[in-house]
């Protein structure tokens, strides 16, 4: 970060070079490139710690019983085994759907938006966060697919004429959801996979011959690390980051349209798209922290996922939590200011007099009160506090979707149809099953794939930059993180003309 | 029967490789490349390469996605637009009639989410396949993999390879040139044919 004190303009013989404020190191203890490779590939190559098995087996069982068993029972018996009833036709299943999709958004934000804003610290966590996105979207997709009732007709959602030759209703947000979530999954998968190709090549090159080398070799596509490949690769990465940024903003907006385009009081509000997106990022970062804090301890990754990383993620949680808190307060304000009796009643029922008031206040505490701790640096850098607040936020974000759906639907326009909702054991077990599925998939990812982006972490080291030990110029950051393109004189791109005096004169 | 693929030279640091690349570029070499475990900032200019052409492909892919989204939604939902496609098998497409609302209105804003998502989807596919095409991957076998030392290109070492098919390549002189520009180790890479 360049220093703010300007050089004295009138004194040209006594030039003051301002001190450049050093950024915190992203790779601690001066680890070498080889150490980084060994540490990350070692997780894949060596035996897993016992804890891996102790968590994996129960989670896999939970997934099998909850998701496998629960969904089979659902398809065999019908949607009646869920707690959904008339007026609350969206209960836990859609709460879970929005919950899981929201969690996925942090991965794309870390990969795409933090890349575009040149936050190099993202390299320690982006691979795991993207993996988390893929698995969260898989868990999420189960619910809309199976809540249709007659699952064997779910192909009606695809953009082809259905069995009666009728086309889908492209004006419906439910169908926009299908397109948005499918696109999100596909693009995230492409981004995650392309990001892994150089790292899979690293693992391939360390393997002795055998089935492992063949598989890693196949999936690394024969990557050689040549600059002629890197330049296209970097461009593709930039393009995918640029595409994923509007995608992540649009997907949860489209999910919010499921609610916002209705006419139900409590749902029919324009604040939903930004509120949902901020909430998704909020919940997603909490999940990233929940996963990363144990991982870095168990696998010894503290030098690459440093306290600076955790500090930054906690700051993002504080920010998005504040946006979410603001959205809650705005909803309450508008329910009064609008003078709409239905809107006012909807929120009175939600906060004071209705049957689910307890859920609303759990949500408020977890989402608004608990992240306020992150204003204090001591709290952001204390792993126990961070872990506790992340867990709170995970719970709070589930309750937020619960409040949105289950406090609104039982209290809609006609008092005659007001009812209550409670989940059945199938609902509960299916949700527990998805938690197990998510954790089990994440553990498999840790077992077989490089959990940190090896090439990018190496690239963030100071030694990786060819100009790192050269005299810094006033106003220029010490590390220029991104590729800026060629200048026609063939010289060093992106720097001011003054720096060319550092290079030996080249013929151009 | 062995054929010479080229000389593989190892360099001790990214800075040394960067300087050497500039000299190789200035010497007028064409069939050569540098290998590193991460993309070295500034290497493209040092090698005399321009920007990648990938964005051009992706733009057209995205435009195709946009057009597909618009056509798909309009042709099937609006009788107005659907008439253009009535020559296809199936005849005039049947839109979903929701609560007797008329289907011959042109409600383009309702189609924006679909158009947007398909733009991104098609752009992403074009990025993926365009990238693979430009990188000429997957290519599971390459002569450089014959070299044992080359395995460190994805770990912590920096290499330059000048290929034999380059017009300025010479079995005797190129090795000397590489040592001159700073290589610490030069290896002749041959492939079996």
Q: How far is A234 from chain B (nearest CA, A)?
A: 8
Chain A 226-265, residues with CB within 8 Å of chain B CB atoms = 226-236, 239-240, 243, 246-247, 250, 254, 257
User: Do residues A48 and A447 touch, judged by C-beta distance below 8 A?
Assistant: yes
How far apart are the CA of B22 and the nearest CA of chain A, in angstroms? 8
Q: Which of A161, A228, A258 to mutate to test the interface with B (most CBs of B within 10 A)?
A: A228
CB atoms closer than 10 angstroms to residue B100: 6
Chain A residues with CB inside 8 Å of B125's CB?
A: 186, 190
- The pLDDT of residue A60 is 97
Q: Give the pLDDT band of residue B23 (cuts 50, 70, 90).
A: very high
- Whether B68 contacts B118, CB under 8 Å: yes
Comparing C-alpha atoms, which of B32, B33, B20 is closest to residue B178? Answer: B20
Read off φ and ψ for residue A197, nearest 5 degrees. -55, -50
Q: Which domains does chain B have, with CATH numbers?
A: 2-51+138-192 (3.30.70), 54-135 (no CATH)
Contact A81, A73 (CB under 8 A): yes
Spell out the per-residue pLDDT of chain A, length 508, in tens.
444 445 545 555 677 788 888 778 889 888 999 999 999 999 999 999 999 999 999 999 999 999 999 999 999 999 899 999 888 989 999 999 999 999 999 999 998 999 999 999 999 999 999 999 999 999 999 999 999 888 999 899 898 888 888 888 888 999 999 999 999 999 999 999 999 999 999 999 999 889 999 999 999 999 999 999 999 999 999 999 999 999 999 999 999 999 999 999 989 999 999 999 999 999 999 999 999 999 999 999 999 999 999 999 999 999 999 999 999 999 999 999 999 999 999 999 999 999 999 999 999 999 999 999 999 999 999 999 999 999 999 999 999 999 999 999 998 888 888 999 999 999 999 999 999 999 999 999 999 999 999 999 999 988 888 887 765 555 554 444 444 443 333 444 444 443 333 334 444 3
Asked if A407 and A88 touch (Cβ cutoff 8 Å), the reply is: no
What is the per-residue pLDDT for B95? 81
Do the Cβ atoms of A222 and B140 come within 8 Å? Answer: yes
* CB crowding A410-441: b at 16 or more within 10 Å, else e: bbbeeeeeeeebebeebbebbbbbbbbbbbbb
Q: How far is A257 from chain B (nearest CA, A)?
A: 10
Determine the length of chain A. 508
User: Between the CA of residue A224 and those of A229, A410, B81, what are the distances in Å?
Assistant: 8, 59, 50
A502/A504 Cα distance (integer angstroms): 7
Bond from prior residue into A194 cis (ω within 30 degrees of 0)? no
Please state the three-class secondary structure of B71-116 as a single string: HHHHHHHCHHHHHHHCCCCCCCCECCCCCCCCCCCCCHHHHHHHHH
What's residue A277's pLDDT? 95
Q: In what order do the strands lie in the sheet with B158-163?
A: B32-35, B158-163, B2-11, B185-192
DSSP one-letter string for A292-331:
HHHHHHHHT-TTTS-HHHHHHHHHHHHHHHHHHHHHHHHH
How far apart CA A178 and CA A158 sit, in angstroms, is: 8
Half-sphere exposure (CA, 13 Å, Cβ side) for A443?
21
Token reading at B180: 């001159």
**B36 CA to chain A: closest CA distance, Å?**
6
Q: Is the pLDDT of residue B154 over 60?
A: yes
Q: Does B101 lie at the interface with A, CB-CB under 8 angstroms?
A: no
- Please tell me the predicted confidence (pLDDT) of residue A24: 81
Looking only at the bridges linking them, the beta strands covering B185-192 and B32-35 are unpaired
Q: What's the token pair of residue A175?
A: 């169908």
**Does the CA dihedral A126-A127-A129-A130 come out positive or negative?**
positive
Inter-chain touch B154–A223, beta carbons under 8 Å:
yes
Report the alpha-carbon distance of residue B119 to residue A123 in Å, rounded: 28
Reported as type and span, the H/E element at residue A399 is: helix A383-406
* Triad A451, A457, A463: Cα angle to 5°: 155
The per-residue pLDDT for range B119-153, each reduced to its tens digit, is 999 999 999 999 999 999 899 899 999 898 999 99
Query: Distances in Å between the alpha carbon of A99 and those of A104, A321, A431, B75?
Result: 9, 16, 11, 35
For the record, the structure tokens of B171 come out as 């079995």
Residue B6 has pLDDT above 60, yes or no: yes
Say what the pLDDT of residue A473 is: 52
Give the dihedral sign, CA A91/A97/A99/A102.
Answer: negative
* A381 neighbors A310 (Cβ within 8 angstroms): yes
E strands of A336-451, at which residues? none
Residue B161 β-bridge partners? B8, B33
Q: Is A37 left (phi over 0), alpha (psi -120 to 50) or beta?
A: alpha
**What is the rounded CA–CA span in Å between residue A414 and residue A257?**
23
Q: Helices (DSSP H) in B136-162: which residue ranges?
A: none
Do A168 and B125 lie within an 8 Å CB cutoff? no
- A370 with A393: CB under 8 angstroms? yes
Range A150-157, long-range pairs (CB < 8 A, 24+ positions): A151/A75
Position A296 scores a pLDDT of: 94
**In terms of CA atoms, which chain B residue is nearest residue A39?**
B155
CA A351 to chain B, closest CA, distance in angstroms equals: 33
Name the pairing type of β-strands B2-11 and B32-35.
unpaired
Measured in angstroms, the CA of B63 and the nearest CA of chain A are apart by 13
Residue A324 Cα, gap to closest chain B Cα (Å): 24
List the structure tokens of A33: 């490139």
Which residues on A lie below 8 Å from B128 (Cβ)? 190, 194, 236
Nearest to B41 among A173, A187, A466 (CB): A466
N- to C-terminal Cα distance for chain B? 6
CA torsion angle for B93, B96, B98, B99 (degrees, to 10)? 70
In this complex, do A466 and B42 lie within 8 Å of one another by their Cβ atoms?
Answer: yes
Residues 436-495, chain A, touching B (beta carbon < 8 A): 454-456, 458-459, 463-467, 480-483, 485-487, 490-493
Of the candidates A273, A231, A236, A283, the one whose C-alpha atom is nearest the C-alpha of residue A251 is A273
Residues 6+ apart with CB under 8 A from A214: none
A-B CB pairs within 8 A amount to 240
The dihedral built from the CA positions of residue B18, B22, B27 and B33, taken in this order, carries a sign that is positive
Nearest alpha-carbon partner for A190 in B131, B60, B68: B131
- Which chain A residue has the Cα nearest residue B70? A170
State residue B172's pLDDT score: 87
Which residues, at least 6 apart from A245, have a Cβ–Cβ distance to it below 8 Å? A112, A113, A116
Q: What is the pTM of this model?
A: 0.89
Burial of A205 (0-12, 13-18, 19+ CB in 10 A): buried
Q: Does B172 touch chain A (CB under 8 A)?
A: no
Q: For residue A36, what pLDDT is reported?
A: 93
Percent of chain B with pLDDT over 90: 63
Backbone angles phi, psi at A452, to 5 degrees: -125, 150
DSSP B126: H
Comparing CB atoms, the residue among A171, A204, A490 nearest residue B107 is A171
Q: Which two tokens stand for residue A378?
A: 């001591």
Q: Does residue A389 contact residue A317 with C-beta atoms inside 8 Å?
A: yes
CA quadruple A489, A492, A495, A500: dihedral, nearest 10 = -80
End-to-end alpha-carbon separation of chain A, Å? 32
Distance of alpha carbon B59 from alpha carbon A296, whole angstroms = 40
Q: What is the DSSP letter of A350?
A: I
């Amino acid at each position: 970060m360049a220093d703010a004190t300007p050089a004295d303009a009138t004194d040209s013989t006594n030039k003051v070079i301002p001190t450049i404020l050093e950024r915190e190191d992203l790779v601690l203890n001066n680890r070498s490139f080889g150490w980084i490779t060994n540490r990350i590939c070692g997780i894949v190559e060596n035996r897993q710690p016992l804890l891996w098995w102790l968590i994996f087996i129960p989670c896999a069982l939970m997934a099998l019983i909850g998701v496998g068993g629960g969904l089979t029972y659902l398809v065999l018996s019908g949607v009646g085994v869920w707690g959904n009833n008339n007026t609350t036709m969206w209960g836990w299943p859609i709460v879970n759907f929005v919950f899981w999709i929201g969690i996925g958004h942090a991965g794309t934000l870390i990969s795409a938006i933090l890349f575009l804003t040149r936050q190099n610290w993202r390299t320690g966590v982006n691979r795991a966060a993207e993996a988390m996105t893929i698995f969260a979207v898989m868990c999420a997709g189960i619910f809309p697919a199976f809540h249709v009732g007659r699952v064997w007709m779910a192909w009606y959602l695809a953009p082809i004429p259905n069995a009666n030759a009728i086309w889908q209703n492209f004006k419906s947000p439910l169908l926009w959801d299908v397109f948005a979530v499918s696109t999100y999954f596909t693009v995230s998968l492409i981004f995650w996979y392309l990001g892994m190709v150089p790292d899979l090549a690293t693992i391939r090159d360390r393997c002795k011959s055998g089935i492992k080398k063949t598989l890693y070799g196949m999936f690394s596509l024969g990557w050689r690390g040549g600059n002629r490949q890197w330049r296209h690769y970097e461009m593709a990465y930039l393009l995918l980051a640029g595409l994923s940024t509007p995608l992540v903003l649009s997907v949860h907006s489209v999910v919010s349209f499921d609610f916002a385009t209705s006419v139900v009081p409590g749902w029919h509000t324009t604040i939903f798209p930004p509120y949902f997106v901020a909430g998704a990022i909020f919940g997603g970062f909490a999940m990233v922290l929940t996963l990363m804090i144990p991982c870095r301890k168990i696998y010894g990754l503290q030098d690459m996922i440093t306290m600076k990383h955790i500090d930054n993620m906690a700051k993002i949680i504080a920010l998005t939590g504040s946006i979410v808190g603001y959205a809650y307060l705005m909803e309450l304000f508008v329910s009064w200011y609008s003078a709409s009796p239905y809107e006012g009643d909807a929120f009175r029922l939600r906060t004071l007099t209705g049957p689910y008031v307890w859920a609303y206040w759990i949500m408020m505490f977890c989402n608004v009160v608990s992240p306020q701790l992150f204003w204090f640096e001591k709290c952001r850098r204390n792993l126990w506090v961070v872990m506790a607040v992340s867990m709170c936020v995970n719970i709070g974000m589930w309750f937020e979707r619960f409040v949105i759906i289950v406090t609104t639907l039982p209290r809609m326009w006609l008092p005659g149809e007001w009812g209550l909702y409670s989940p059945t054991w199938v609902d509960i077990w299916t949700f527990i099953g998805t938690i197990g599925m998510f954790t089990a998939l994440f553990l498999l990812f840790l077992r077989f794939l490089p959990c940190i982006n090896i090439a990018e972490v190496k690239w963030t080291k100071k030694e990786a930059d060819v100009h790192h030990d050269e005299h810094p110029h006033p106003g220029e950051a010490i590390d220029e993180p991104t590729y800026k393109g060629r200048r026609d004189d063939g010289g060093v791109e992106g720097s001011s003309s003054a720096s060319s005096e550092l290079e030996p004169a080249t013929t151009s | 029967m062995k054929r010479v693929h080229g000389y593989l030279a190892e360099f001790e640091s990214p800075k040394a490789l960067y300087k050497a690349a500039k000299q190789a570029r200035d010497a007028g070499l064409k069939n050569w490349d540098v290998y590193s475990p991460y993309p070295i900032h500034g290497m493209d200019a040092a090698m005399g390469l321009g920007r990648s052409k990938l964005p051009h492909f992706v733009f057209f892919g995205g435009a195709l996605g946009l057009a597909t989204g618009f056509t798909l939604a309009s042709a099937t939902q609006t009788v107005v637009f659907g008439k253009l496609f009535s020559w296809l098998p199936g005849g005039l497409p049947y839109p979903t009639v929701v609560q007797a609302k008329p289907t011959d209105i042109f409600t383009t804003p309702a189609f924006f989410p679909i158009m947007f998502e398909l733009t991104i989807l098609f752009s992403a596919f074009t990025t993926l396949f365009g990238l693979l095409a430009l990188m000429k991957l997957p290519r599971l076998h390459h002569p450089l993999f014959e070299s044992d030392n080359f395995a460190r290109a994805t770990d912590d070492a920096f290499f330059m390879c000048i290929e034999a098919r380059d017009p300025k390549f010479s079995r005797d002189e190129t090795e000397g040139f590489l040592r001159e520009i700073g290589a610490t180790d030069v290896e002749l890479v041959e492939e079996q044919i």
